[in-house]
Structure 1
Amino acid sequence: MIQVENSMAHLLQKRLSTFSHTQYIIFLIFDTEDITYLNWLKRTKIFIEQTYCEIRTSNELIHSVKNIPHIEQNILDQWQTVAIVLEQRIHEIKCIRNRLQDQINEINENILNTEKTIEFLKKTIQDKEIFINIIQCRISFLSMRPVLENINDREYSKLSQEFNNLQYSIDNLQKNLFEEEYALQHLFRLKTTIEENLAIKNNSLFIDEQKVIGLRRTFSFTS
């Protein structure tokens, strides 16, 4: 029995010594002096499982090595895609920033015109108030005439009509002045909002154009 087992072990050792897979040669060396049939089966099974495990690991490594060029190309493609998207984003931010700056310039011009209009309205109201004060004085003098002469004559009616017209004109001017002052405050609030948005766009542009692209220049990716 021992002789048969030794013969089988010797035969297995001889066959396994010639077994090769993926350029690996596995030598199984048995201690033929102290081996039983069950031990032989057990150890053979272990060696076979280890061999298949090594083969699978080797195949996985070979597959990974073969995929390295594909992975490298994929990384390069992603790098170039990000570069294109980043350039497009920078272009869009610059366009928005320029539009915001144009809006601020337009608002500044409107503010200047509105301030001139307000000054003109104030000056016009002031001039008309001078005239209306003069008319009030003349009406007051006419009302101080003797009883027989204190009548609603043509001159008095004319002054009264002129006074009413001036007062109506002043009321309209004051209404326009209030509207222009309200519009001026609205322009200032709008300018503040646009300036805040402009500051955000400038900060985003600084991050993308200076920080991100500057950091990307420190890496070298070539196809």
Structure 2
Amino acid sequence: MSAAEVLVSHPQVARCLPEEEQQPCKPYCVVKNTGLHSSSGLATAGFRTAKYIPEEWMQNNVSKLCRSLADRDSAGNTRHESSALMVERAKLTLGTQANSTKKLGERLQDIFFWKSELQREIEDLLAETELLLERQRRLEVALDANETAIFISTDNLQNRDRRQGPDLVLDAVEGELLKEVDLIQNVQGVLKRTLDQVVTQLRKNRDAKELLEMDWSDKYEAYKIDVKAGGLNNQSTNIQFHPNSSKFEDNSSTPESWAQATHCNIYKAEQERMNSINLRSLADNVLQETSEDLREQYDRVNAAFSKRLEEFFDAKAKLDHHLRKILEQISAQERNITNLKKAIKDKEAPLKVAQTRLYERTYRPNVELTRDPAQMNLVCEVGEITESIALLQEKLKEAQLSLQNMEITRMTLEQEIAIKANSIFIDSEKCLKHRERYPTVVRLAGYQ
């Protein structure tokens, strides 16, 4: 290829000129000085080789002009489009930024709403937990009071086992005491089960509160971050490029799942709070009913004690009365025995006189030893005195036997009186006095 063919490299540039400036272009050929009749000779051969002709020079100028005009038009269009694009994109960027700021504001409102709901539920759950803790303390106080009550009841039973003789009887008092012990044991079982439920519910309340606090803490941090992000603007000094920040994290949640997660946490906390309220109501009912039942049984036991003590006092009074009568009879019988002995003693002299008379009269001689009225009367006198002595001795034996019996009765009465006094002392001093330390209905209900 010749140099002329290389330079004419834009045969279509003329099409870029306006129609009034376009002129038909003639095809030009490179002059080749190679003919037989060429004017060139050997002397000018080096000056005429590979040179353009004037038409080629003109065509080259026209091509450059066309190319310049086309470039200028393209540059003008590019500037115009660039200006419109910059205005459009500036407006779009500002609008998008304003919309992002608005969305951040809406997001802050959503976070604030759920944070407020979490805060409210945390406060409600905390207040409910404090109330349930108070029920726990009441249950513990009630259990402690029941320990005192069962100690008193068992101590009463142990003391009453020290009753003596016939007073060691399964009476109404012991029956009521046994009922009281059974009731206290049943109440202790109910209180312990309720206390275990309260402890378990307190743990659930704390777990739910911890879950809410973690959620609230996360929202607090997110709220601070979004407040900081929403406060950024184009004039902020702490903005910079973060090329990889626009991608979504693999563990990111959707707004629906985000709201649902918080709603589930609040719902679970509300459920635990309602369970706590119901359990607190149950604990109140248990404390009230058990305290009332225990005090009613306490009153029944005391009434049985009072009735039994009345019976003891009445029996002891009757025994004392009979003892006094027996002592009077013993004293009278002792005097009677003394009198009988004296009477028997007094019969000795008349008997001696009568017998001595009879003995002396046995010495009457011969026919004088006769059964005269005097003899017969003396014999009758001796028989009468002997009979009187026998009767008096028999009556003395009866009186002595009666005295022995009365002495036995006296000892029996004194023993029974001592037994009754011991029973009265046990029931009144060892039992009823001790029962004055029985917990009040207020303490049995769990109050200090």
TM-score, normalising length from structure 2?
Answer: 0.38
| Cα separation, 2, equivalents of 1:144 and 1:21 | 136
Q: CA deviation at 1:138?
A: 0.5
Residue of 307, 328, 331 corresponding to 1:109: 328
| Cα separation, 2, equivalents of 1:116 and 1:70 | 68
115-124 vs 103-112, greater mean Cα deviation: 115-124
Q: Give the partner amino acid of 1:165.
A: E
Residue of 176, 192, 198 corresponding to 2:411: 192
| Cα separation, 2, equivalents of 1:154 and 1:14 | 142
| Cα separation, 2, equivalents of 1:201 and 1:113 | 27
| Cα separation, 2, equivalents of 1:94 and 1:169 | 48
| Cα separation, 2, equivalents of 1:107 and 1:179 | 16
Residue of 422, 433, 437 corresponding to 1:214: 433
Given that residues 313 and 424 in structure 2 are in contact (C-alpha distance below 8 angstroms), is that contact kept between their aligned partners in structure 1?
yes
> In the TM superposition, what whole-angstrom CA distance separates every residue of 1:8-29 from its partner, at most 9, and x where no partner exists?
xx6996774454376428xxxx
Q: What's 1:85 paired with?
A: 304
Closer, same or farther in 2 for the Cα pair 1:222/1:60, shift >3 Å? Answer: closer
Q: What's 1:66 paired with?
A: 285
Given that residues 292 and 441 in structure 2 are in contact (C-alpha distance below 8 angstroms), is that contact kept between their aligned partners in structure 1?
no
Secondary structure of 1:144's counterpart equals coil
Q: What's 1:98 paired with?
A: 317
Whether 1:24 aligns to 2:272 is yes
| Cα separation, 1, equivalents of 2:346 and 2:270 | 107
Q: What's 2:394 paired with?
A: 175
Q: Give the partner amino acid of 1:125.
A: I
| Cα separation, 1, equivalents of 2:328 and 2:374 | 47
Structure 1 residues not aligned, in runs of 5+: 1-5, 26-54
Superposed, 1:1-20 pairs within 5 Å as 16-17=264-265, 19-20=267-268
Q: CA deviation at 1:137?
A: 0.6
Superposed, 1:35-46 pairs within 5 Å as none
Q: What's 1:40 paired with?
A: none
> In the TM superposition, what whole-angstrom CA distance separates every residue of 1:133-183 from its partner, at most 9, and x where no partner exists?
111111111101112211212211111111111111111111111111100
Whether 1:163 aligns to 2:411 is no
Given that residues 334 and 403 in structure 2 are in contact (C-alpha distance below 8 angstroms), is that contact kept between their aligned partners in structure 1?
yes
Closer, same or farther in 2 for the Cα pair 1:71/1:147, shift >3 Å? Answer: same
Given that residues 291 and 441 in structure 2 are in contact (C-alpha distance below 8 angstroms), is that contact kept between their aligned partners in structure 1?
no
Q: Give the partner amino acid of 2:310.
A: H
> In the TM superposition, what whole-angstrom CA distance separates every residue of 1:99-137 from its partner, at most 9, and x where no partner exists?
111111000000011111111111111111210111111
| Cα separation, 1, equivalents of 2:398 and 2:330 | 13
Residue of 318, 343, 357 corresponding to 1:124: 343
Max radius of gyration: which structure? 2
Whether 1:204 aligns to 2:412 is no
| Cα separation, 2, equivalents of 1:85 and 1:24 | 47
> In the TM superposition, what whole-angstrom CA distance separates every residue of 1:56-111 from its partner, at most 9, and x where no partner exists?
x9866652343211111112212222222212222221111111111110000000
Closer, same or farther in 2 for the Cα pair 1:21/1:81, shift >3 Å? Answer: farther
> In the TM superposition, what whole-angstrom CA distance separates every residue of 1:192-215 from its partner, at most 9, and x where no partner exists?
111111111101111111122221
Paired positions, count: 188
Q: CA deviation at 1:219?
A: 3.6
RMSD: 2.8
Q: Give the partner amino acid of 2:334.
A: E
Q: Give the partner amino acid of 1:99.
A: K
| Cα separation, 2, equivalents of 1:189 and 1:153 | 53
TM-score, normalising length from structure 1?
Answer: 0.74
Q: Give the partner amino acid of 1:120.
A: N
Q: Give the partner amino acid of 2:349.
A: I
| Cα separation, 1, equivalents of 2:368 and 2:400 | 47
Structure 2 residues not aligned, in runs of 5+: 1-252, 443-448
Q: Give the partner amino acid of 1:196.
A: Q
